[in-house]
Structure 1
């Protein structure tokens, strides 16, 4: 599926922000899809069932130096099947700020999930999952641990 079918909006990254309920706001990656509906549905469904949250991984590959201005590509994959579900262009500075906010959110709440990823088509949610791991890779394909969300006890 083409990247230009997707747009990314990263929000709730203000680390002091609270929601209407007084709880910290969960950092969220919204990925909007505007391509052929069947293409997205086929990617996000496995044997006519929604893919479960534990099998979905979200990561970002930076397209330039970690400490310089560059774009990145957010990828969503299924770790059990190896299926590549989608990728979308994203601003690397926004992604790195998102990771910092998600890390802070995890410190301020009792839950294990650090952020939410939402894929939409039109006004409808196609996939909404709360996640704890977000891996960031540099432009050479190496994991950048200091900019990634890796829960304690997880070995990569």
Structure 2
């Protein structure tokens, strides 16, 4: 389903048109942890449960058991400069139930290994040492700016 208007078909040269859907889905990490076979998405307000199911099954080939949707109200806040009230956009959340045999774990994007942590500590120690030598070199010249170093 698309709400875009496309030019009328004309005979002749190949048609230079690409049909793109207006739908989008964004994976969200749920705040209260869900069961391992439930995945949460934020999706376009125009999407229905059937659209969400078809989107996941046809494009990503994910077997879907159940789809539940919820529309959350956008937050109200006051603009500090002008003083009027602003309402953020509403959002539609889809809770997708996968088969019991499938488990989804939200990827840990900021997972760092111990090797990286040790490397970061070494570079931090080197930076501290170089700063210490810089301070010791210029401590007898308080009237000279720090950028003017020998």
TM-score (norm 2): 0.24
Structure with the larger RCO, 1 or 2 (CA within 8 Å, 6+ apart): 1
TM-score (norm 1): 0.23
Query: Which of the pair is proportionally richer in strand?
Result: 1
Which protein is bigger by CA-based radius of gyration?
Answer: 2
